[in-house]
Structure 1
């Protein structure tokens, strides 16, 4: 009985943790119009991940060669431009940051991002990547509107520019209050606001792909399954009618 209770409590705690991680923030989420058929977008997303994210975050359940094949990247080109840790093409995508060092620098180890899209959702990731803003009170000088007090620097600032949180006064419950209305960069980045949004959509799309690489294949096979069931239903109905034609 004790073992059953322990198991039940463990399962409940795990489900609660996942639900908490995936819960919607108070900031409205922007729709991420992910298109997994768009190989160019996925390739750009892979490039962004390898250049800006892999230094801290691993993707230890995904292999280089599988990524290159699915994203239609020539193996030699991928190894020359997207592989910076000296691993082999068949190796898992890991980084060289020791967990102990990550804990000392950031307060906690940087999470693996292979399945982050399945936990958080594409809309959350897309909005999060575009919600960093200057906050001098934080250790790295930035905060995030979607994930307050996150222990992560804004590694994409050179692309976006210096982002600042914008608010405006609105009447709420009879009182004038400052309401969050979005993030606005200062224009010093390498990309324009629209280009940065597209880059973050590309990165989000790549994370959605790594969360479930077989998703497109599953959908393709699903139509065959539905077709089989439809045809089988017709034959089953004809067979039933034949068996029961003399039954009154």
Structure 2
């Protein structure tokens, strides 16, 4: 008998979730070359997110949050060079300490090379994981990774945990740029939630439903969920869907690496499908 496939989740994370700006989780399943979106869940606090992670359920998930820091930064600061020890140390710092430490690192570096990058940042087009503003991904890492560790989930290439709950770093911008280039499709600023951005979401959803990415997976959407994705001008729901598609590709590749390449730096991590 063929084992049932685990559920899929795609998570658009916020380091300071609230009712106005929740963490959004897309739930779905893989069926052939289709990724079926079943529902969207919104979590208003980090405590709710922590509780959700600990639920006894089998899933493979793509999380829009960095899972590691640049090796050049860690070595310069003299922090532990083993991932788990580094994350424990990082989790014990306050956000103010993180900001001041990273700002001092940047101020000592030449213009145009202020931030340290992970090996795949240029390839993925991702922000450096040490960036504390616009977007504050350093704070996202600081908020999310300790909760993933506390929940005992499995992080391929980084940390062994419960193999029934597999968490992978995802990045919605990776697929979005593949489909619509650098057109902006979202904004948290109501004044920037324009018809042009809505039109970009229309095109992005159409391309996803047609399976136009190199991952070869179609998004399968019910009418009411498609409407929610389209009308969410923040793009959070759509980003959760993009992470869900990346998680589906990872599930197709299967354990133990879920599509992560052999050259993954065990301190920095890797964005799935990069």
The interval holding the TM-score normalised by the smaller chain is: under 0.3
Q: Greater Rg, structure 1 or structure 2?
A: 1
Q: TM-score, normalised on structure 2?
A: 0.24
Higher relative contact order (CA 8 A, sep 6+): 2
Considering fraction of residues, name the structure with more helix. Answer: 1
Q: TM-score, normalised on structure 1?
A: 0.25
